[in-house]
């Protein structure tokens, strides 16, 4: 089991094209841990904003009566992929991993696979 800091470092080091990562509490919108980003990309703002995406999707699923779980949410921009993966299992309720990828340097399928592995190893 890996702690938050180790898991986020693993995101940047093991996922090709990863530029930023965060563990976010979508009930409060607070980032519990971040890595990457920088002055041109405020990861705290991005993490807080993406809580609205997760909440909206969960609310829509509830209204539709869908009894499914979100595996991940993908937002594609011109030069980036933003991947949101809700944490499942013990202690992960209300949390998600947020990953920013450079689309020119990443393999989305491999990134999703690696993020799933990191989620499974995460100790919350």
| 65-108 tens-digit pLDDT | 999 999 999 999 999 999 999 998 666 688 999 999 999 999 99
Q: What is the 3-state secondary structure (H, E, C) of the chain?
A: CECHHHHHHHHHHHCCCEEEEEEEECCCCEEEEEEECECCECHHHHHHHHHHHHHHHHHHHHHHCCCCCCCCEEEECCCEEEEEEECCCCCCCCEEEEEEEECCCCCHHHHHHHHHHHHHHECC
Residue 110's pLDDT band (boundaries 50, 70, 90)?
A: very high
Residue whose C-alpha is closest to residue 124's, from 90, 81, 84? 90
Residue whose C-alpha is closest to residue 118's, from 91, 93, 99, 105? 99
d(C-alpha 122, C-alpha 51), whole Å: 20
Predicted confidence (pLDDT) at residue 52 exceeds the cutoff of 70: yes
Helices 108-121 and 4-14: crossing angle in degrees, nearest 10, is 160
Rg (CA), the chain: 14
**What's the farthest any 2 CA atoms get from each other in the chain?**
41
In this prediction, residues 20-36 reach a mean pLDDT of 92
């Amino acid at each position: 089991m890996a702690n938050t800091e180790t898991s986020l470092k693993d995101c940047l080091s093991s996922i090709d094209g990863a530029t930023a990562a965060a563990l976010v509490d979508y009930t409060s919108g607070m980032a519990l841990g971040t890595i990457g980003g920088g002055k041109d990309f405020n990861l705290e703002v991005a993490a807080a904003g993406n809580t609205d995406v997760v909440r909206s999707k969960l609310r829509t699923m509830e209204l539709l009566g869908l009894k499914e779980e979100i595996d991940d949410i993908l937002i594609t921009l011109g030069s980036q992929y933003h991947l949101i993966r809700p944490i499942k299992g013990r202690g992960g309720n209300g949390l998600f991993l947020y990953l920013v990828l450079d689309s020119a340097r990443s393999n989305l399928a491999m990134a999703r696979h690696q993020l799933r592995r990191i989620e499974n190893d995460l100790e919350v």
